[in-house]
Each structure stands twice: as C-alpha cells, then as structure tokens.
Amino acid sequence: MTTSPDYRAGFVSFVGRPNVGKSTLTNALVGEKVAITSSKPQTTRRAIRGIVHHANGQLVLVDTPGMHRPRTLLGERLNSVVQDTLGEVDVIGFCVPADEKLGPGDRFINEQLDSFPRAKKVAIVTKIDAASKAAVAEQLLAVSSLRDWEAIVPLSAVSRIQLDTVASELIKLLPVSPQLYPSEQVTEELLEDRVSEFIREAALEGVQDELPHSLAVTIDDIVERDDRELVEVYANLFVERDSQKGIIIGHKGQRLREVGERARAQIEPLVGKQVFLSIRVKVAKDWQRDPKQLGRLGF
Ligand SMILES: Nc1nc2c(ncn2[C@@H]2O[C@H](COP(=O)(O)OP(=O)(O)OP(=O)(O)O)[C@@H](O)[C@H]2O)c(=O)[nH]1
C-alpha cells in the first residue's frame, strides 16, 4: 500500500486520573474507523489498545495499566511498566475532565510527565458535554498554566465532539513514517484471541474449583460487514464432561445467557459495534490430556 510522503505514524498514550474518560476516548477513536485492532497485549510491557487509521496517519494507542491505579500513582514512583511505556511513546495525551476542577491527582500526574522528555505532550479536556461553556473555558485556562503543551483539545467522546480534531492534532505530532500496521490488517487473530478471552472470563465468573481448567473457547468466525452496525461472533465453549456442560448452561439456559451478556458487554466496546454472539457449549472429553485436542483448542 502506498502512502503520501507526509504520512505519519506512531505511538500515543493517554494518561490521567481514573475515570477521566481515557478508555471511552480510546474506544471512540478506534471504533470510528474501519480497521480495528484488539487490545491483546503484545508483550506484558506494552499493550496496544487500538489502532486508529486516518488518511494522513496512523495512531497506535498504547495502554499504561499502572497509570490507572491511584495507589501506584501516589506511590513514590511510577511502576516500571508505565515508565517503560511512556519512555517510548511519541505523544502523551494528558486527560482531565471538564466537569471537575484540577486537583492534586492531576497535578501529580502532570509533574510525572517531566520524566518523559522524548514524548510530545498534549492536554485533552474530556467530557465537555458535561460542563458549561464557562467551566470548559476555565478548565482550558487552568490546564494551559500547567506546562507548554503542543496542543490543548477540548472534546467529548460520548457526544463525539472533536474526535477528528484530536486525531489530527495527535497525528501531526507523530514522526513521518510508513504505516506501522497495514490498514487492511483487521487483526482477526488478535481480535479472536481477545474475544475468546472475554468469553472464557464471562463463563468462569461465579464458578469454582476444577471447572476453570476445564474450559476452553474457540472462535469459528467473526463476521464484520461495513454495511451493518452489527458484528457476528460464533464461538464454541468446550468443557470436559457432560456434568460441566450442565453447569455452564444452567437451568433453562439461564446461566449461558448471562455468560453471553457479560461477554458481549466486553466485546462491543472492543469492536465498536453491537455484537451478535453465538456460544455453543461442547464436550471434548479429557481435552487437557489429549495433545490432538489441545492443538485444536489453540494450546
Ligand atoms: N458525559 C461524559 N461522560 C464521559 C465521557 N467520557 C467518559 N465519560 C464517563 O466517565 C466515566 C469514566 O470513563 P472511562 O473512559 O472509563 O475513564 P478512564 O479514564 O478510562 O477510567 P479508568 O479506566 O478507571 O482509568 C464513565 O462513566 C464514562 O461513561 C464524555 O465524553 N462525556
């Protein structure tokens, strides 16, 4: 695939206190474009949350799990995962909500950003739909006094205000680069892995003992069509014994329905569309001890 000479691509991390809207922003940005990649961690050190494809560039959104935890944040130093991640990204988007005044938590994180001189820094004022114009203006002013930002963007991920603006502002700050991920790469494999993980998690909720090890999930198909706001997921949930099948399905299928609902709630933000989820429960006798079955189940 050819790209224009000033095509830009690189890594971006959103940081900020818990609840300021980082995940919602990530989902809104990733969901808005055709090519979606999953948040399957590439390594334990760096988790790719999503890839945003624009005509003039590509944003690879990188997660910083440690930054989400106030206890880590208020600790003496950021944990090493965050250190490593933020040390490598091209741009850090510092998020503060429009509907709360800047507090010590925000200031603390802002100060930490000094440790990452390589990254360009952008301030993002989130949730402007939830604040008055005057409050937004006040917040922009307050944020601008924190440091010399490359850009300050007010937006609302929920109301989809200024999402394109923030994407282009971020892309402008990335290095000129070929595409890091081909846009036609829908990363089916990664998406499949993540989706099966969600289903397994949902199936395990509330069950005890040996069942956890007896569960495996495979994905037959993920059907995503441009002309439809619905993604179809066809999954199989393998157990080892008939009795386990009963546990998973529950009385009149009630438990399986709940599993499906929990899993869908996780998958939908990932794919940015509604999800039709079919889970078929199957028995693969003693699959854990059978190398052939293990292979088939992706182990
Ligand atoms: N009104 C409004 N609410 C928002 C917006 N973005 C996020 N929220 C809400 O704010 C809450 C927190 O959003 P998250 O995206 O989970 O925040 P986060 O920063 O990722 O939080 P952590 O995962 O805890 O770090 C949720 O209830 C969102 O629905 C927005 O643009 N407008």
pLDDT, tens digit, for every residue of 88-143? Answer: 899 999 999 999 999 998 998 899 899 899 999 999 999 999 999 999 999 999 99
Could you count the other beta carbons within 10 Å of the beta carbon of residue 158?
A: 15
Does 164 have pLDDT greater than 70?
A: yes
277: in domain: yes
Atom of ligand 1 nearest to the CA of 159: 31
**In angstroms, what is the span from residue 161 Cα to ligand 1's centroid?**
14
The secondary element (H helix, E strand) that includes residue 231 is strand 230-239
Task: Please check whether residues 128 and 84 belong to one and the same domain.
Answer: yes
177: in domain: no
Tokens of 130: 């939830």
219: in domain: yes
Task: Please check whether residues 138 and 204 belong to one and the same domain.
Answer: no
Beta bridge partners of 10: 59
Q: Rounded CA gap, 78 and 117, in Å?
A: 15
Final residue of a domain: which of 114, 146, 172? 172
182: in domain: no
Atom of ligand 1 nearest to the CA of 156: 31
Task: Please check whether residues 168 and 193 belong to one and the same domain.
Answer: no
Task: Please check whether residues 89 and 218 belong to one and the same domain.
Answer: no
Lowest mean pLDDT among 41-55, 145-159, 169-183: 41-55
Tokens of 61: 């959104």
Task: Please check whether residues 55 and 125 belong to one and the same domain.
Answer: yes
Query: Residue 37 is part of which domain span?
Result: 8-172
CA angle 248, 254, 257 (to 5 degrees): 80
In this predicted structure, what is the pLDDT of residue 289?
67
Task: Please check whether residues 194 and 229 belong to one and the same domain.
Answer: yes
| Length of the chain as a residue count | 299
197: in domain: yes
Structural domain tally of the chain? 2
Residues in contact with ligand 1 (CB, 6 Å cut-off): 16, 18-24, 68, 126-127, 129-130, 156-158
**In angstroms, what is the span from residue 23 Cα to ligand 1's centroid?**
7
Answer yes or no: is 56 a known binding residue.
Answer: no
Task: Please check whether residues 21 and 114 belong to one and the same domain.
Answer: yes
**In angstroms, what is the span from residue 127 Cα to ligand 1's centroid?**
8
Do 283 and 241 form a contact (C-beta atoms < 8 A)? yes
Task: Please check whether residues 113 and 84 belong to one and the same domain.
Answer: yes
| Of 225 and 47, more confident | 225
Q: How does strand 57-63 pair with strand 91-97?
A: unpaired
Ligand 1 mutation pick, 23, 49, 156, max ligand atoms within 8 A of CB: 23
Task: Please check whether residues 158 and 207 belong to one and the same domain.
Answer: no
**CATH code of the domain containing 197:** 3.30.300.20
B/e letters for 205-222, b = 16+ CB within 10 Å, e = fewer, are: eebeeebeebbbbbbeeb
Do 152 and 125 form a contact (C-beta atoms < 8 A)? yes
Tokens of 97: 């909500």
Amino acid, single-letter form, for residue 206: G
State pTM to two decimals. Answer: 0.63
Task: Please check whether residues 254 and 284 belong to one and the same domain.
Answer: yes
ipTM of this complex: 0.97
Nearest CA to ligand 1 atom 12: 19
Tokens of 110: 């802002």
Site of tokens 């299928």: 253
Identify the DSSP state of 156. Answer: B
**In angstroms, what is the span from residue 27 Cα to ligand 1's centroid?**
11
**CATH code of the domain containing 164:** 3.40.50.300
82: in domain: yes
Whole-number Cα distances in Å, 99 to 58, 131, 136? 30, 5, 8
Q: Rounded CA gap, 222 and 59, in Å?
A: 24
| pLDDT tens digits, one per residue of 233-290 | 999 999 888 888 998 999 999 999 999 999 999 899 878 889 999 999 999 877 666 6
183: in domain: no
Lowest mean pLDDT among 20-29, 143-152, 155-164, 210-219: 210-219
Do 154 and 165 form a contact (C-beta atoms < 8 A)? no
Task: Please check whether residues 285 and 201 belong to one and the same domain.
Answer: yes
179: in domain: no
Answer yes or no: is 97 a known binding residue.
Answer: no
Task: Please check whether residues 44 and 153 belong to one and the same domain.
Answer: yes
